[in-house]
Structure formats: C-alpha cells, structure tokens
Amino acid sequence: MFYISDYFEFIRGNQNNMAKCETGNIPLISAKKVDNGYKDFIKSNGKKLFPKHILTLNNDGDGGVGLAYYQPVESALDTHVTALVPKLDLSKYALLFVSRCISHQREKFSHGYSLNNQRLHSQKIMLPENMDGQPRWVYMSNYLQQIQLQQIAPYFSCQDRLH
C-alpha cells in the first residue's frame, strides 16, 4: 500500500462560476461521473489552467465522488475537482492504471463524505510493487498497453480481411 501523496501533488480546481464562462476551446473538467469529467469547452478567463498528462479526481458531485480520470490535454478544473500532478515522470499508461486503482476505492466516499485535502493526504492506494517495496511503474504501463492492444487488435484483423 502506498500513499497517493507520495507520488502526486494535489491542486484544487479554481473555476467557481461556470455559468459566466464563455465558449472556447479549453476543456472544462467538472465532477461528472461520465465522459472523463468533461463538462464543456471554455475560453481562457485568467484563471489557472492545469497541465496535460495529469489525473483529475472528483471531490464530490453527481455520484462521481472518488472517480479519477487521465487528462491528456491542458484543461480548466472546477472547484469540485482536484488535479493529481505526478511527482515522477510516469507514462500515460501508468497514470491510467493508477486512475483505475483510485476509482476502485470510490465506494467509501459520498456526497456527505467528500474528498478534501486532509482525506486525500491520508488516502492509500494498492499498486503492484517490486522486491524493494517500490511501485512497479513499468509493469503497470506494459499491462495497460497490452489491454489496449487486445481491444484494438480485432479492428486490424478485420481491416486485413477487407484487402
């Protein structure tokens, strides 16, 4: 078991008046339980944008509390979402693995028991570990890549039959 805080910095979202946001091309992530948290696309409004290649974690919301999503692009986050910024250089696939492990624990949170920074700092996560007791990041990455290949392989074999 590992503390999430050992591998990620926590930065709370700052978009608090989404009704005043103008339509643009910056993804706005909210505490949704579907669609990777994407709520809308907005124009820059002077508030901090969060870097690409992070995880977002729903602190509360429409049944999505505790869900973690990988964000591949720079985005804006509402105040009900926390950015988990990796402290290490982790691959997209390792982050996807971690997001699933975090989301798997979501049942212990609810609208009345939301994720705040204090709870987040004490939150543990189960990850595969090596003989030295360190997370096996390469294994996690390879595992997710293999699953992705299994999912898309049928489309390649179908395409080969068409030619």
Q: What's the mean pLDDT in 31-53? A: 92
- The pLDDT value recorded for residue 41 is 94
* Confidence bin at 62 (pLDDT 50/70/90): low
> Can you point out the beta strands (E) in the chain?
2-3, 8-12, 23-29, 38-42, 54-58, 68-71, 76-77, 81-86, 124-125
Q: Residue type for 116, please?
A: N
What are the tens digits of pLDDT across the range 74-123?
Answer: 999 999 999 999 999 999 999 999 999 999 887 776 556 666 777 788 88
Could you tell me what percent of the chain has a pLDDT over 90? Answer: 60
pLDDT at residue 163 tops 90: no
Which of the pair, 79 or 161, is modelled with greater confidence? 79
pTM listed for this prediction: 0.87
What pLDDT score was predicted for residue 142? 96
